[in-house]
Amino acid sequence: MADRPLPSYSGDAPYFFVTYGHDDVALVHPEMRALQQAGFNLWYDDGIHVGAVWRQAIADALSNAAGVLFFATRSSIQSDNCQKELNFALDEGKPVLVLKLDDTKLPNLLRLSLSDRQMLDRANFDGDAYRTRLVEAMAAIAPPAPAASGNHASRRMPTRVPSIALQKLSTGDRETAFWAEALVGDLVTALGWGITLLFTRDAEPTALGKQPDVGYVLSGNVRRTDDDYRVNLKLTRGDTGVQVWSGRYNEAGAALDVSDAVCRRAASDIAKAVVEDERDRVMKIDDEHLDAWGLCIKAASTASGGARSFQDWAERFGRVRLALERDPDFAMAHSMLGGFLSAYVMMQFSRTPDADIAEALAHMDRALALAPGNPMILEGAALTHRVFGDEALALELTERAHATMVGPRFTSAALVGLDDQLPACLIQAGRVDEALQRMLDGEPFPERMLYTAYAVKGDWPDALKWSRRATATQPLEFLPWIELANALAMCGQLDEATGVIERVRGYVPRFTVKGYERGMRIAWRNRDAVVGALTAGLRTLGMD
């Protein structure tokens, strides 16, 4: 989305002037979008205040408005601009609807000023009842216009998830051909998370690519010498034949073990290659022309390195909610929205955590109902339930995700930045040794979870080793750097730890140990053994 993710009304029809705190865009923009789709015209400023020109525009917009919507939150009641806009509206005798979005108590003076105005407290209604009451109140001031049939923002679109045509793998002998057919079957299972495997055919990639609905073509060969298997794979775009990825896998051992190892690695690599290629494609397309898949990929891509502002979150939420408008039964969009809401609470952005947690769990449960075997969705639901819901269910879900053979790297790097939840569930349950064993026996394994496990055990040299590796593989993420500082301090390397914290503050200028500890208490459900280990070194650095 652009700087203004919602169109502000311009025209001669009745409209509502919207006043809100600009820190609240993630709360307010979904409400505004729903009202626009209900047929109401909304005027709002973009938060860029440019002196007298801006003041005149505000005054003109207020004077000509049919009514005013005031989104009351902690931010807005403390905003001088909101206060001035409300006072102007009251002086003009404009109808004012007060929409209370959080548990903030209105100041006495503001309550007196708005005492004869209608107020809706969202906490007093379920979502449908709240929206119905709001629409009725607005319609009494200015009836909504029928939704325009050409409204790109609200129209539904068919979702086209990328498809791969899998060419029959060439082999050197009959026995290897039999093994290759089994490998193809395993790949179909491993890639069943959402990318569609259309068919397998003994045809040239260029011919397969010309088939309807083919997005990509996967081809390759298998060679065998005794118990050594060499698998070469290549992924090309169906429309152009341009190669987007290739992989070579050498494995030795029993055929079944080799097939499992190759599939775990290849499925992860192929899925990441498709997502990265799709990311490059959708970033060049306006949101109004994207389907639910494209919007989800774009939502996951626009804040690489973590969403660090309310505007980042507004863009993420706006795109994934639009994806659900385009396709209400798209499981991936439900899962992503649940994951974003969970992270929004864990990173302490949320002003209404209870409501956001409830919505996150509802979207995750809906995603599971729509796609119960999708490993990305299983991992996402495991995270949300581990932190906010049913911890036993979280462990069950992540075990099911692991049974699909898609490694944790795919989930982490390809889409929504989730860590592998199996070790996290085990660590949270106090089963740290089991978590370590499962990680060290598996491949690939998540460095940050290895750091966490060793930190909880008090093995700081190994915790330091894995935290360094995490910063090498995720250099733009700020959490691995915080963890590195913690491990360095616990290993007595205080000067380097202090330097790392300065780097962290380049990412998060307002970083404090107290704030980080609050976040860790949410993320680890107040497990003292975990939170204590993850903050012990930071507390020795003499920071708040």
User: Do 137 and 88 share a domain, yes or no?
Assistant: yes
Instruction: Report the distance separating Cα 415 and Cα 273, nearest Å.
Output: 11
Q: 174 lies in which domain range?
A: 163-282
Residue 51, in any domain of the structure? yes
Nearest residue to 404 via CA among 435, 426, 371, 429? 371
User: Do 213 and 329 share a domain, yes or no?
Assistant: no
Residue 435, in any domain of the structure? no
- What CATH number did the domain enclosing 520 receive? 1.25.40.10
User: Do 390 and 294 share a domain, yes or no?
Assistant: yes
**Helices and strands in the chain, H and E counts:** 24, 11
Prediction pTM value: 0.67
CB 527 within 8 A of CB 388: no
User: Do 228 and 333 share a domain, yes or no?
Assistant: no
DSSP structure class, residue 3? S
User: Per-residue pLDDT for the chain (544 aa), expressed as one digit of tens each?
Assistant: 333 446 778 777 889 999 998 778 777 888 888 888 778 889 887 543 444 456 777 888 889 999 999 998 888 888 888 888 888 888 888 888 888 888 777 777 677 666 656 678 877 766 566 777 788 788 878 877 754 333 444 567 788 877 787 777 777 777 677 667 667 666 655 565 455 544 445 556 566 555 656 778 888 888 877 778 788 888 888 878 899 999 898 877 666 666 667 777 777 778 778 888 888 888 888 888 899 988 988 888 764 445 556 667 878 888 899 999 999 999 889 999 999 999 889 988 888 889 899 999 999 999 999 888 777 788 899 999 999 999 999 999 998 887 765 444 443 333 444 557 889 999 999 999 999 998 888 655 678 999 999 999 999 999 999 999 999 988 888 899 999 999 999 999 999 999 999 999 888 888 899 999 999 999 999 999 999 999 999 999 977 6
- Say if residue 521 is exposed, middle or buried (CB neighbours under 10 Å; 0-12, 13-18, 19+): middle
Strands 228-237 and 196-201: unpaired
User: Do 324 and 386 share a domain, yes or no?
Assistant: yes
Residue 184, in any domain of the structure? yes
CB 114 within 8 A of CB 94: no
The number of folded domains in the chain is 4
User: Do 247 and 316 share a domain, yes or no?
Assistant: no
List all residues 6 or more positions away from 337 whose beta carbon is below 8 Å from its beta carbon.
Answer: 317, 320, 321, 324, 359, 360, 363
Residue 196, in any domain of the structure? yes
User: Do 25 and 137 share a domain, yes or no?
Assistant: yes
pLDDT at 281: 86
DSSP structure class, residue 392? H
